[in-house]
Amino acid sequence: MSTSTTIVILGGTGDLAQRKLIPALYTLDVLGRLPASVSVVGFARAKLDDASYREHMWKGARELSGQPVERKAWDRFAKRLSYVRADLADPASFEALRARLKAIEDGAERADRIFYLAVSPSLFTPAIRGLGGAGLASEDTGWRRVVVEKPFGEDEASAAKLDDEVHAVFRESQVYRIDHYLGKETVQNLLVFRFANTIFEPVWNRNYVDNVQITVSETVTVGDRAGYYDGVGVIRDMVQNHLLQLLCLIAMEPPSSPDPEALRSKRVEVLEAVRRWSSEEYAKNAVAGQYDGYLEEKGVAQGSRTPTYAAMRLFIDNWRWQGVPFYLRSGKAMAGKRSEIAIHFKAPPLTLFAQPEGHVHAPNVLAMCVGPDEGFHLRFSSKVPDEGMLIEPEHMEFHYRTSYAGREIPEAYQRLLEDALTGDASLFIRGDQIKHAWSIVDPLLKRLADPASPKPEAYAAGSWGPAAADALLARDGFAWDSLCGHDD
C-alpha cells in the first residue's frame, strides 16, 4: 500500500525548528531512518516560498544546530521540505494547509499526519482550534497525531484548560506531549540500568537508601532570554518538568511489560504518591534563590520575585520510599553545569575500622550523570595501602565518552520524532502526569508569588546557590554531594 506521512511544523521557521527539529529529521534521513514517504511542511507567517524556506532552514541548521550539515545530503533531504505561509489566527490559513496536504498526499492510498506545535504556548489553543476547525484532525485517510511542545500550561488549572482544548479535537492517544529530557539517551539508560540489571533492585528502596539528590544546574545566566524567563522562573522552566521526570524514572516500580502505557502509568504512580506540601509547608521544604545581578538583566521587571534557583525536599509515600527524602535543586548561574541523580546509601551498621579524628568515612553513592559528562559513578570505600586501616573513597566510573568513543550521542529530538512517527508514546507525557506534576509545585508557585512571603534569597553567580539550600539538607544530617563532573 502506498503511504504518505506528513509532518506539519506549525512554527516551522522558529528557533526550535531550525535548531532541533529540522536537523533531527536531516540526521534521520542521512542515517537512512526516515522513510521515503515522509514529507515536512513548515507553517508560519514569514514571507517565504518552498525554495526560500529550504534555504532558510539550511542556514538555520548549519548555524544553530551545532552539528555538521553537508550540502549534498541536505539537498537530497530538502526535497522533502515545503512551506505554507500562514497565520494561525486566520482560518483561511488552515484551508491553505489542507490544500497543500492534499497535493502532497495525492495518489497515496494512506495518508498519515503529525502536527507539531512548535509555536509559543499562547498559540497552542489557536493552533488546535484551527486544525480542528478545518477538519485536519479527522482520521479519514490515515492516523493523526499532535505533538505539543513544553510548557503544557503554567499551573494545574491552565494545563487542565489546555487539555480540554486538545481533547476537543484529538483523543488522548493521539497527543504526544514533549519533555525533551525523556528523549535523552542517558535518561533512557536510567531505565536500562534499573530494569536490565538485577544487582541494583534489592538495594533500591528505603532499607538501603538514605536520600536521593537530583541536580540540574546551569552555569549560564538568563542572558537574552530574560524577557521570557522573568515570567516563568526555575520552577516552571525546570522543576515541574525535567526534575520531576527524573524523579519518576528513578523512583518508579518496574513495569510489567514494555508496553508504552505500562511505562507511562508507572511514572504517573510516582507523582501520585509524592506527598503534597501546602504553601505553608513549603516554607520548610523549599528554598528559592535569585542570583546577584538578575534584577539588572535587560527584560527583568523591577523588583522581580522570579526565582532563578530552587531546592526542595519531597517524600514519596509508598512502600518502597517511605521516609526517604528526595532533594531536588536547579538553578542558573551556578558553579557547574550538570544533570545528575545521586543515590546516597546508608552507612554500614557497624564501624569496624576506626578512622583518625576528623577523617570522614563517606558512604556509598551511585551517581547517574545525565550530562554533560554522561555516565555513572559508584563511590565506595577502599583501604589506603600501608596506612593501617585508613579508608578513602574511590570511584568506579563508566563514561560514554570512553566506552562509546567515536559514537555520537543522538539528539533527544531525533529519538522523539522517530517515536512519534512510529506511534511509540513511551517517552511522551500523558495528560494525568502533567496534572500531577503541576499539583505538586502549584502551592510553591503560589507562595513565591505572594508578596507577603519572603523574596527569593540572593546567591552569588558562580556559586552552588543560597546557603539556605545547604541548611535544607543539613537539618536532616545530609549535604549536597555531586560526583558527576567531580573532575571539573
Site for ligand NAP, rule CB under 6 A: 11-16, 19-20, 44-46, 86-89, 118-121, 123, 149-150
State the residue number with the nearest CB to ligand NAP: 14
Distance CA 383, CA 396 (A): 15
**Beta bridge pairs of residue 328:** 214, 312
Neighbour-count burial for 275-298, b at 16+ CB within 10 Å, e otherwise: eebebeebeebbbbbbbeebeebe
Report, in Å, the least distance between residue 86 CB and ligand NAP. 6
Q: Which CB atom, from 237 or from 397, has the smaller least distance to ligand NAP?
A: 237
**CA 246 vs CA 201, 250, 342, 420: distances in Å:** 17, 6, 11, 21
Q: The cell 536521593 sits on which residue?
A: 212
Query: Exposure string (b/e) for 387-400, b if CB count within 10 Å is 16 or more?
Result: eeeebeeeeebeeb
What is the closest distance, in whole angstroms, from the C-beta atom of residue 88 to ligand NAP in the complex?
A: 4
> Closest CB to ligand NAP among 21 and 212?
21
Q: For the beta carbon of residue 103, count every other beta carbon within 10 angstroms.
A: 9
In the complex, what is the shortest distance from the CB of residue 186 to ligand NAP, in angstroms, rounded to a whole number?
18
Q: What's the CA gap between 112 and 421, in Å, rounded?
A: 9
Residue number with CB closer to ligand NAP (45 or 446):
45
CB of 477 to ligand NAP, least distance (A): 38
The strand ranges marked E within 184-314 are: 209-217, 286-291, 309-314
CB of 236 or CB of 313, closer to ligand NAP? 236
Which residues are marked as active site? Answer: 242
Smallest gap from residue 290 Cβ to ligand NAP (A): 22
> Phi and psi dihedrals of 101, rounded to 5?
-65, -40
- The interaxial angle of helices 124-133 and 91-105, nearest 10 deg, is 60
Q: What sign does the CA torsion over 276, 279, 285, 291 have?
A: positive
